């Protein structure tokens, strides 16, 4: 059974997230995306590695994803989200 679902992040960006992510540190809760572009306007293809990179480096993007997956506590307790 697939508990994943798509969320609209605005500006034509949609992210598919896991409904109940297990092994959050082994598998990103972010399963796919559409419309995500880099600073030059080029589409960023989805990969597990890129998902981990974005969740690690993009504070507000990561907080949005973790809030939608019910992992706000994880986000609040992670150094990368600091002050």
Any idea where the domains of the chain sit in the sequence? 5-81
For residue 14, the surrounding DSSP H or E stretch is strand 13-17
For residues 23-45, average pLDDT: 82
CA dihedral of residues 39, 27, 25, 45 (deg, nearest 10): -10
- Per-residue confidence band for 18, with pLDDT thresholds at 50, 70 and 90: confident
Question: The whole model's pTM is what?
Answer: 0.63
N- to C-terminal Cα separation, the chain: 38
3 state DSSP class of 66: helix
């Amino acid at each position: 059974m697939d508990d994943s679902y798509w969320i609209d992040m605005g500006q034509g960006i949609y992210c598919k997230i896991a409904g109940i992510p297990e092994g959050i540190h082994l598998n990103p809760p972010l399963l796919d995306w559409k419309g995500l572009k880099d600073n030059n306007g080029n589409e960023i293809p989805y990969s597990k590695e890129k998902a981990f990179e974005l969740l690690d480096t993009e504070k507000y993007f990561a907080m949005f994803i973790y809030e939608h997956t019910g992992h706000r506590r994880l986000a609040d307790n992670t150094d990368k989200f600091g002050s």
